[in-house]
A = this chain, B = another copy of it.
Amino acid sequence: MTSYRPLDAEALRACLGARNTLAARLGGAPADWVLREVSDGNLNTVFLVEGPTGALCCKQSLPHVRVDPDWKMPLDRTDFEARYMRAVSPFVGHLMPEFHAFDAELHLLVMEGLTHHRVLRTALADGTAAAGFSARIGEYVGRTAFHTSWRGRPFEAVMKNVARFARNTTLTRITVDLVLTDPCVPDCPRNRPLSPDLDETVAALQSDSTLRDAVSRLQERFLCCPQALLHGDLHTGSVMVHGDDVRVIDGEFALMGPIGFDCGLYLGNLLLHACARPERREWMQDEIALFWRSLEHLYRDLWDENPQAGDVGALLSPESRRSAQAATLRAIRRDSAGFAGLELIRRTIGYAQVADYALTPDRVAEAEARRRALALGRTLILGATMDEAVEACFQ
């Protein structure tokens, strides 16, 4: 027996009205609340509910992909998002919306409503994003990466997240297919048709066996390296900004994986934006540098402050710890470059593309932007650092 049903605005109003704590956050009477559907991602229904004294964001799973009702999907994805929010909120504070409640039967997640924030991708598109947001994202990744890792907690606590998120296979399958496989597969039906100008470039990419070998190594790295609890889908559409307040949302793809995967997805999306708007290349490079400075600084500090917090690393002397930190951060950067490369390619030829390409002035410029993103992606996957790849591909 399950009482699951997709909620429309009025059903949601009744549902929130019946829950005292949530109703009290909104204030006034249910009839006073203003509900707006703001579904923006591909998967779920999202409502923003505003009352006289507060706002809530309510996210509910549908039994299918929201934008494609024929693509059936189990309902448990908001369950994983709720678990993720509970797992990382003690470490990231106001870098994510406050978690309020989760209804397991309705698969309904209720969190702080961010009424003034805008999605970072949109804010970048219309020029309202204030430079420097990446420092906060670096902080977010640094904090979650340390505190949910084998260095930050006894292994029993980490294994709890391993066990919990290993069951998030429906969404992980999407990542394995759409991010880590399809872009290398000629004629994959999930890839999008592009302008014929790009046919040759795409065909060359998909028949490149050196690239496939490197992608194969990244697949293994993604599945077989549970360093920390990842957000799992940390692109510029999963970040909301308002002035210098930055929040990470949409953790339903959460899984234990290599820290460089979260970094790579995020940075790959900054590079995509730079491909679409080449005049912003330096700004995006500054954001990348800010991200790393913030992440690395924080990750080192947290480790120095908690040298005995986990089983891994507890044997190290302070000097050895510093070498281990440097080696760990180098490896994170290496992974990040590869995963950023995959993100650049899959967002350019795969199923889920990015709105950034609509910012190009015409079709010629768009094809050029896509070609650059593919070249950048390939260069990164084959082992270049981010600086080297940008240098080589923006000439």
- Residues of A with Cβ closer than 8 Å to B? 150, 155-156, 158-160, 162-164, 166-167, 169, 172-173, 176, 180-181, 184-185, 209, 212-213, 215-216, 219-220, 223-227, 311-317, 319-320, 323-324
Contact = CB atoms under 8 A, between A and B. Distances in A.
A109 to B, nearest CB: 22
B213 A323 contact: yes
Name the residue in A160, A163, A212 with the highest tally of chain B Cβ atoms < 10 Å from its Cβ: A163
A155 B172 contact: yes
Given A209-B317, A312-B223, A159 B150 contact: no
A356 B101 CA distance: 59
Contacts of A227: 224
Q: How many copies does the complex hold?
A: 2
A184 B313 CA distance: 13
Name the residue in A216, A219, A224 with the highest tally of chain B Cβ atoms < 10 Å from its Cβ: A224
B169 A313 contact: no
Nearest to A159: B166
A181 B213 CA distance: 36
Interface of A: prevailing SS? helix
Contacts of A319: 209
A224 B216 CA distance: 19
Given A181-B311, A224-B226, A316 B216 contact: yes
Contacts of A215: 315
A224 B312 contact: yes
Contact of A156 (B169, B181, B213, B220): B169
16 contacts: A159-B166, A162-B163, A162-B166, A163-B164, A180-B311, A181-B314, A181-B315, A184-B315, A209-B320, A212-B315, A213-B323, A216-B316, A219-B312, A219-B313, A220-B312, A223-B312
A173 B157 CA distance: 12
Given A213-B323, A312-B224, A320-B216, A159 B169 contact: yes
A359 B323 CA distance: 43
